[in-house]
Structure formats: structure tokens, C-alpha cells
Amino acid sequence: MSDEPEAPTFDESSDGERALSIPPELPILPLRDTVLFPNSFMPLAVARESSVRLIDDAIGGGKLIAVFTQRDATVEEPVEADLFRVGTATHIHKMFKLPDGSLRLIVQGLARLEMGQIVETKPYLRARVVPASEDVGEADKLEIDALQRNIKTNFQQVVSLSPLLSDDLQTLALNISDAGKLADFIASSLSTISTAAKQEVLETLDVRARMDLLNRILIKELEVLELGSKIQSQVQSEVGKNQRDYFLREQLKAIQKELGEGDDQTKEIEELRAKIEAAGMPEAVKKEALRELDRLSKMPVAAAEYTVSRTYVDWLVALPWSKRTDEVIDLKRTKDILDADHSDLAKAKDRIIEYLAVRKLNPDVKGPILCFVGPPGVGKTSLAKSIATALDRKFVRISLGGMRDEAEIRGHRRTYIGALPGQIIQGLRRAESKNPVFILDEIDKLGSDFRGDPASALLEVLDPEQNNTFRDHYLDVPFDLSEVLFLTTANVLDPVPPALRDRMEVLELPGYTEEEKLKIAREHLLAKQVQNHGLTAESITFDDAAVRAVIRGYTREAGVRNLEREIAALCRKSARRRAEGNEDPIAITPDVVVEMLGAPRFLDEEMGERTKNPGVAIGLAWTPSGGEVLFIEARRMNGGGSLTLTGHLGDVMKESARAGLSWFRANASRYGVDPEFYRSSEIHLHVPSGAIPKDGPSAGVTMVVALCSELSKRPVRGDIAMTGEITLSGRVLPVGGIKEKVLAARRVGIREVILPARNEKNINEDLSEDLRREMTVHYVTTIDEVLALALPPNAEAPAVAAAPVETQPASVA
């Protein structure tokens, strides 16, 4: 029947309540979903049969009816209980009949009514009604005014924010002066508030209370509208940006098309597809690559992920999935190449040839990884390079030095910004072959921290059981590393994690003698540097004495790197002379060396000088950069029996100093020293070069010799060096690094060394025949033997009587 809450109009001038006398009984028209307020006009649509009948009868009569809103809009035939108790006396202004029999009305609300008893239910409801008069109450006029103003302002804001309300409503509202009517007008104008709320306004007869209620409704409405407009503007700006991007991109496409540039993206995708087909990927990888390509083709070029995805596909196609170099293992040729590139190193070369022989006979056997261990500059890296040349394989090298992050080996996941594959995969891409010789340099300098342990990632790389499906985090597809020939290098083995060490076969390169260095310089370094500096063999000549002078006076190293550097310096200075117009051939002699390189940095005489006074002995130490010669100094001062140790010594070294002192106290009388010396003495043992940390037991014998020398006032021989661990009972135990130590002694010009007897086999196995011939080695088993050799009893000896009794004639190698 009724409905359509189209905006009602309002007529303040018609004051129905007073102008009209309301009959005591009226027909009741139920309203659905709307409330008619007094003084307002409203169009209604009437379709229910009973309602049409009601209107027909009313038009014939006084055109006066009562409207009451249904509690539940869905009820078809409402009875009394379905209607609210307060409604409106209504005048039917106009009625139109539509062809389907339904009616359109224009009605005007006149006054509030309260429903009384129902008198008829058929054909439509009729009831007794009583006017419900407004109650102006005792409300303060000022308060009403203030509320009224407040309501008007709020209403203005609601109208200006709401797209559903016409701006005219503001003006209309401003012109209403009666508070109750203003409330009715606004309540009937607000199309967004619920019917229940409107009904509540209608039922509130107290004007003051009605205004309060309305004000609350308005404030709530205002909040909703403000929130709504905020959401609206956010949504608008987002939609705006997306649309803008979209339009720009479309325009760009159109412009490219106009310019005849065609669709670059499609072209690019097709190129990539061809590359994927050509890359020889395993099936699973190819599938992954094509999937990514598909994703790529659907992405706008300008999208951030486009580059990420594109880079990934680039990586996939760039890897040598099935590219390899043919390996020819020709042992003769390999030997020739190794010999041509490196002098000496016979033992290492033999081991390499054996290693390759095994590979040749059984290509499937996964041999251990070779690890070259030795001091800097002895040719570890360059030997590994030669192996690559000899095998005709590509060569890549990565340095593990300082690597602390697992991701450096294995890459970052693609979700990281700027993610890349790890060094292994990067190396293979550089190699452009899946079977290169891959050098992992400085495996001993591998670090680890909270970012993960690169060593464990490396373990997987080096494990023949699992490296055929090595999974880089970035690639996220397996890559077969099983054909790669990994070689590793290290200065020392100790820091290498045991699990890694286990996978490797160690090949030691201990360092060179002066003769070997001279030979290396002659055969390799000189020619290389002469050529590097744009000189020729005719324009510059080196004589052997000059090279020796460089080795002795300007370098002190196990390898030849500094030697090469000094030779380069000589070539550079010669090149300059030639460039400045001096065309004469230059002959490098020892004098020219001093002239060009300045005064020698290392002097041999030092040795004898330092041991002239009692209390200084020459020891031999092993360091990661080769052997070292150490001076150990002892001093006795008056004091109360304490021992001071200085020179950055480790705990083991300190303990061996104490053991040495104890042994000497127990045996002092045999060396002409008062056994009670300790009571009135303070002993200080010092190992110079304090900046280098020193540890290990091998300085034991040297410390005892220095002590004995100081206390017995006999100087130590300056041409003999020693090493060995001691026990409290005076025995000498074997130590490590023998070859390096002997080389170090030889380097500073010492030809005689004292070694523990049980180290004899190291000398025989590791030292070249030349070196053995050159050096005099004394093997000892007790400290007494050491003292007999190092402290000649007749040299200024105050107490000859105390010659050691147990000393046997030293065995001489």
C-alpha cells in the first residue's frame, strides 16, 4: 500500500493541529518504512487492496485519514499490534489512479495522534484516535534557543556533506522558528536515518527532549558522513593512481606503436624463450624458467617485480647447464705445463700427476679435493691455475677470506631486495662451463657469525655425494657441481673446520731456499717482470749476485712474492731511465740494486751482533707465513726469586719457560751456577717483536740456553739456531714445522741448527738434497746436549769444572 519515502515537503504555515478538528474515529492507513510528520507533504504509493478501498472511501468523504507506521515493514496485512501507537492525522491532497489499479497520493501530515480502540478491521482498520498534543514543558527559552541553533548548524553540515540532501533544505530549516516543527522537519528530511529513529522523534512529545534526541541523531549522522568522506577520498586517491598508471602505460604503448617500435616486451619475451630453449637446461629447470617467463609476460614492464623476474630469468639462461670443455688428461703434457710454469716443487707436482692419473683411469671416482697449504707467495694459486691450463679447462677463483655469511656461498633468496646468487653460481657463470677448475682460495680465512656458517654451505659444495644437486637460495633449482674440479688453498690448516679438512687431501708447499728462489727468479720472475714493464732481454740484464742481494737484503719470506715485487721495482726504475732517453742496456748488479732500492732492509751481521753478550739465544719458530728466526733474551737482576715473561707469549710458551727455569735450578751447579741463585735474583725472559703473538712449546730449549748463558755469563754461539720442546727431566721432544724453520735459519745465513732427534725423518723427507748438504744439523735428545753445542765451555767460561757430564758427542747430519 503505502511507501516510497520520497523527500517530503513541509508547510509551516498550515497548522493542522489547531485549524482542523480531528474526528474521534478515523480509517487507519499503515505505512511501511516511513514516518509522516505533521506539517510535511509526502507522496505515497498505495497498492494493497484494503488500502485502495480505504483511500476510495476517504476521497469520497472528508479526505481525512490517520497514518501509522508498521513495526515490521514485511507484514502484509497488519493488525493493531503491528502498528506503532503514535501516528499522524493526514489530509489527502491529490490522488492519481494508475492503470493497474494502484494509487499515487500526495498527503499532508496534520497533527500527532494516539491510537485508541480499534472499531473495525474489515475492509480496513478503523480506530478511535486522540490528538497527542506537544508538551512545551518548562524548558528554559534560552536553552531551547541554544539547542535550536546547535541543531541548525549541525544540520547544515550534514546537508553539505551528504550527497543525498538538497542544499535547499538548509534554507528551509533556517526559516523555521518553532522548535518542535524544526525537529519534525529535520527528522523527516533525513533520508538516511532509520524508520525506528524517525518514529522515536514522532513519539517524543516533549519538545526539549525531542530536540535533544534529534541533536544526537544529527551528531551521529555527521560522524558517519565524515568517516565516509575520509574513506571516499582515500579510495579515490588510490583508484586515481592506478588509473593514472594504467592510462599512462596504455598511452606509452600507443606511442610506441605509432613510432613503429612495436611491442618491445613481446620481443624481449620471445628472445628469452629462445634462450631458454637453447640453454640446455634439465627438464625441471626449464619448466621453472618457462613458468617465470610466463609470469614476466603478464607483468607491466614498469612494475618493480618485472626487473626482479627478468634478472632471474637472465641468470637461469646464462648458466652453463650443459656447456663443458672437453677434458683431455694427458699426463705428459700436464707435467710439461706444470714444469714450464713452476720451478722445483717436485713433490707437489708428482702428487698432482698422481691425482690426475687416478681421474684418467676412473673418471667416475670422486677423488678428494686437493688443498695446497703453505706460506704466502709459494705458488699455491698459480699452481692451481696451471692445473686448469694443463687440463684445458676454464679457471675460476673465489677468495673465501673474510667470508662470514652463508649467503655469500649460497646466495640470498629472491625475496630479498637486490638478491643475487652466491659466489659458487656466480663463478660458474663467469666460467661459462660446468666443468671448470674452481679455486677456493684462503679456505683458512673463512669466518662465521650470526648470519650463518659459510663452512657448512661449502661442505655441501665439496661433498661429491650431494653436490650434483647443489641448491643456491637465489636460483632455487638444483645445479650439478659434480663435474667441477675444486681446489683449495690455505696458509695454515688449523683454522679449517675439521669436517672440511676431512674432505681434502693436503699438499704442503713449505717455502723456498735462497737457491730455489734464485732459480725461480731466473726461470720465471725476471722474464715476466721485464716483459710486463715493456723491456726486452737485451735492454736489461740481471746478474745472479744482484738477485741474491735482493733476496737477502730486501726480502725475508718463505715465498717469492716480495722478491717479485722488488724485481718489478727494479724493472720500473729501469723502464723510467729508458723512457727518459737513456738507451744503453742496463745491467743490474748488486751496486745498482742498492742505488735503485736504497739501503738493504735486512742485514745478516745482526745475528752475531745480537749474541755477543751473554743471555741471548737464537730460536726458530713456525708462523703461517713461513719459518721465523727469534731471539730469546734472559736477564738476571737482584730481586726476590720471581720470573717475568714478556713479548706477547701464549700460555703454552709461558709454561715451557717455567719448566725450563725449574730444570735449570735443579741442574745449576753442573753449569757453575750457585743453585741458590734464585733467592737473590729476579729473572726476566723476553722475546722481541712483541707485536707478533707467539705460542707453542718449541722455544723451550732456546729459553734454557738463554738462561744458562745469562747466569753462567757465557755468550751463546751466534751461528747456531735451535728448536725443541723440553721436559722437566731435561729431555728434548720433537716439534713441528721443521722445514720452514730450517729454511728460515738458512735465509738469515745460519748454517747450523739444533733439532730434536725425533725430527730427523722430517729433514730426510722434506728437505732437498742441496739444502741437506748445505746445513749442519745436530740431533739431540737432552738439554745438556743442546747446552754443550750452543755454549762452548771455553768461551769466557768462569767455571770450566762444571762441564756437563752427560753430554755425548753430537750426531752430525
Ligand X SMILES: Nc1ncnc2c1ncn2[C@@H]1O[C@H](COP(=O)(O)OP(=O)(O)OP(=O)(O)O)[C@@H](O)[C@H]1O
Which long-range contacts link 613-616 to residues 24+ away (Cβ below 8 Å)?
A: 613/715, 614/709, 614/710, 614/712, 614/713, 614/714, 614/715, 614/716, 615/706, 615/709, 615/710, 616/706, 616/709, 616/715, 616/716
Residue 601 beta carbon to Mg ion: minimum distance, rounded to whole angstroms: 24
Residue 563 beta carbon to ligand X: minimum distance, rounded to whole angstroms: 8
Q: If binding means CB under 6 A, how many residues of this protein chain bind ligand X?
A: 20
Segment interacting with ligand X (CB under 6 A) among 37-45, 187-195, 378-386, 412-420: 378-386
Please list, in sequence order, all residues whose beta carbon lies within 8 angstroms of the beta carbon of residue 780, skipping any fewer than 6 positions away.
724, 732, 754, 755, 756, 757, 786, 789, 810
Residues belonging to the active site: 698, 741
Residues numbered 546-585 forming contacts with ligand X, rule: CB under 6 A = 559-561, 564
Residue 349 beta carbon to ligand X: minimum distance, rounded to whole angstroms: 9
Q: If binding means CB under 5 A, how many residues of this protein chain bind Mg ion?
A: 1
Residue 384 beta carbon to Mg ion: minimum distance, rounded to whole angstroms: 8
The residue (of 222 and 353) whose beta carbon lies closer to ligand X is: 353
The residue (of 520 and 789) whose beta carbon lies closer to ligand X is: 520
Burial of 482 (0-12, 13-18, 19+ CB in 10 A): middle
Distance between CA atoms of residues 802 and 304, nearest Å: 89
377 touching ligand X, by CB under 6 A: yes
The candidate with the shortest Cα–Cα distance to 185, out of 27, 38, 377, 292, is 38
The residue (of 63 and 561) whose beta carbon lies closer to ligand X is: 561
The candidate with the shortest Cα–Cα distance to 551, out of 533, 530, 565, 537, is 565
H helices of 204-262, in order, are 207-258
Residues numbered 300-319 forming contacts with Mg ion, rule: CB under 5 A = none
Residue 699 beta carbon to ligand X: minimum distance, rounded to whole angstroms: 25
681 touching ligand X, by CB under 6 A: no
Residue nearest to Mg ion (CB): 381
Segment interacting with Mg ion (CB under 5 A) among 180-188, 345-353, 376-384, 666-674: 376-384
381 touching Mg ion, by CB under 5 A: yes
Phi–psi pair at 805, nearest 5 degrees: -80, -35
Phi–psi pair at 497, nearest 5 degrees: -55, 140
> From the list 382, 613, 644, 808, which residue makes contact with ligand X (rule: CB under 6 A)?
382
Residues numbered 480-499 forming contacts with ligand X, rule: CB under 6 A = 489, 491
Residue 335 beta carbon to ligand X: minimum distance, rounded to whole angstroms: 15
Query: What does 109 interact with, of ligand X, Mg ion, none (CB < 5 to 8 A by kind)?
Result: none
Q: DSSP E strands: which ranges in 543-655?
A: 586-588, 616-623, 626-638, 642-646
The residue (of 338 and 484) whose beta carbon lies closer to ligand X is: 338
The residue (of 491 and 529) whose beta carbon lies closer to Mg ion is: 491
The residue (of 558 and 726) whose beta carbon lies closer to ligand X is: 558
- Contact between 493 and 501 under an 8 Å Cβ cutoff? The reply is yes
Residue 498: asked if its preceding bond is cis (omega within 30°), the reply is no
Query: What does 524 interact with, of Mg ion, ligand X, none (CB < 5 to 8 A by kind)?
Result: ligand X
625 touching Mg ion, by CB under 5 A: no
- Residue in this structure with the C-alpha cell 735443579, named with its chain if needed: 666
What's 400-460 look like in SS3? CCCCCCHHHHHCCCCCCCCCCCCHHHHHHHHHCCCCCEEEEECHHHCCCECCECHHHHHHH
Residue nearest to ligand X (CB): 379
* Cell numbers found for residue 393: 679447462
Distance between CA atoms of residues 169 and 380, nearest Å: 94
**Sheet with strand 720-722: strands edge to edge:** 642-646, 681-686, 626-638, 616-623, 720-722, 752-756, 776-780, 811-812
Residues numbered 505-524 forming contacts with ligand X, rule: CB under 6 A = 520, 524
Residue 509 beta carbon to ligand X: minimum distance, rounded to whole angstroms: 7
The residue (of 485 and 721) whose beta carbon lies closer to ligand X is: 485
Distance between CA atoms of residues 793 and 803, nearest Å: 7
Query: What does 342 interact with, of ligand X, Mg ion, none (CB < 5 to 8 A by kind)?
Result: ligand X
- Contact between 574 and 588 under an 8 Å Cβ cutoff? The reply is yes
Segment interacting with Mg ion (CB under 5 A) among 373-381, 393-401, 588-596, 644-652: 373-381
Residue 442 beta carbon to Mg ion: minimum distance, rounded to whole angstroms: 7
Residue 458 beta carbon to ligand X: minimum distance, rounded to whole angstroms: 18
Distance between CA atoms of residues 405 and 811, nearest Å: 53
Residues numbered 345-364 forming contacts with ligand X, rule: CB under 6 A = 345
Query: What does 491 interact with, of ligand X, Mg ion, none (CB < 5 to 8 A by kind)?
Result: ligand X
H helices of 679-758, in order, are 700-712, 738-747
199 touching Mg ion, by CB under 5 A: no
The candidate with the shortest Cα–Cα distance to 527, out of 507, 541, 508, 509, is 541
Query: What does 379 interact with, of ligand X, Mg ion, none (CB < 5 to 8 A by kind)?
Result: ligand X
> From the list 34, 162, 195, 381, which residue makes contact with ligand X (rule: CB under 6 A)?
381
Query: What does 378 interact with, of Mg ion, ligand X, none (CB < 5 to 8 A by kind)?
Result: ligand X
Query: What does 467 interact with, of ligand X, Mg ion, none (CB < 5 to 8 A by kind)?
Result: none
Segment interacting with ligand X (CB under 6 A) among 104-112, 376-384, 462-470, 732-740: 376-384
Residue 343 beta carbon to ligand X: minimum distance, rounded to whole angstroms: 4
Backbone Cα Rg of the chain: 53
The candidate with the shortest Cα–Cα distance to 162, out of 221, 230, 236, is 221
The residue (of 746 and 778) whose beta carbon lies closer to ligand X is: 746
747 touching ligand X, by CB under 6 A: no
> From the list 184, 344, 566, 725, which residue makes contact with ligand X (rule: CB under 6 A)?
344
- Contact between 739 and 777 under an 8 Å Cβ cutoff? The reply is no
Distance between CA atoms of residues 617 and 634, nearest Å: 9
Distance between CA atoms of residues 215 and 223, nearest Å: 12
Segment interacting with ligand X (CB under 6 A) among 41-49, 184-192, 375-383, 575-583: 375-383
Residues at the contact surface with Mg ion, assessed by CB under 5 A? 381
Residues at the contact surface with ligand X, assessed by CB under 6 A? 342-345, 374, 376-382, 489, 491, 520, 524, 559-561, 564
